[in-house]
Chains A and B, each alone.
Chain A
């Protein structure tokens, strides 16, 4: 019986979170990225994709990709995906082997801002 009560409680909480999530409020946390955070890829990725936990406000959400010298290597065409408002995308120039830093700052649709950065590497 206690197990059932615990499961019921967990279901209630998950449902509660889902109910609020459906209204797309709160801070947007980075859920995952492609290339993955801290990863090493063996070919230059054509695009960087950042997936967040909340829908984003396109006008105030941005991302920059820099090489080790601080030179910007993305094409500047930052956009929120037309079919998925939690996905931020930017095209990349061909990346030679090296380390790259991703610096993002987004605003969720209820105006909560969040920011972050991470690196990935391109190997020969």
Chain B
């Protein structure tokens, strides 16, 4: 089961499940699965910040971006309400995630992410379950940075470690390996007549999730298929700091001069095993406020289709730039740094 708002190196796909039996526990479990599915496209991870030329890219919240950096998200908190459906009670899920990224060399880094989940049923018969989601790890290599065109490209692989989380949450007992390709592009090289579009930038990721088991049997005896899943993520941002420093000083001062409004899109599309085309996704408008040492981000989590869910959630994150806070110690690469 993919934890919501899980933040590891590579977006990990949601794996739609076969329906489980309608026993009381199964109903509860179904609710859990629905809730988790509603937010799992937020399977971003310890997204990174960085520069390409004069472009500063912040760390996005629900999609991964192409940078390798020393940084830490502590915490990422998300909340997703989910209505009652198919006999399952309405629930609210709270996630508390910690993500850490560490550069081994200036262009190669590793990442680790852990999420604590609490799922509460609402209405009559309140109850809750809590536990750790499966551990997620990843590695990323920065392939290319083109400063004048504010472009960069990287590749990486992420893994959800099956069975490492709490069984009460119904975590997967198989692992999923997700290689991916990441890019970032600022529009700072647009011609003079389009100056006010120059603060726009996009980052994106394309990944493919490979489950280590094609099918598994649940505790209730049902067989579920685990498809390969295409993950696509895109973040469109408009940098007010870029506008102020590179296009036109319109008089913004702190804190507004450090705001970066953005919209993120994250979709997971199963490719086979009877679930092809059953995509889920979220659309996440929000903003990031970036300082020299940390950033704060808030976004809404809006289901992109009925299959994903019906309720709007929210995510917030406090993210520290360790390479800026501690440039001479824990914030520099283990090898090859300054």
Contact = CB atoms under 8 A, between A and B. Distances in A.
A54 interface: yes
Given A26-B292, A112-B324, 4 more contacts: A13-B294, A25-B327, A116-B54, A117-B54
A118 B327 contact: no
B296 A29 contact: no
B321 interface: yes
Interface string A52-82: 0110000000000000000000000000000
Contact of B293 (A20, A39, A117): A20
Contact of B54 (A16, A39, A111, A115): A115
Contacts of B245: 29-31, 37, 116, 118
B327 A111 contact: yes
B294 to A, nearest CB: 7
Interface residues of A, number: 27
B246 A32 contact: no
B248 A37 contact: yes
B271 interface: no
B168 to A, nearest CB: 30
Contact of A38 (B53, B241, B247, B293): B247
Given A26-B324, A27-B51, A37-B244, A17 B249 contact: no
B321 to A, nearest CB: 7
B246 A117 contact: yes
A5 B294 CA distance: 20
Contacts of A25: 292-293, 324-325, 327
Nearest to A23: B325
A36 B294 contact: no
Contacts of B328: 110
Nearest to A111: B338
Q: Please provide the 6 A-B residue pairs with the shortest distance between their CB atoms, ordered closest to farther.
A: A38-B248, A26-B324, A116-B54, A26-B292, A30-B245, A37-B249
Most chain A beta carbons < 10 A, residue from B51, B246, B248, B293 = B293
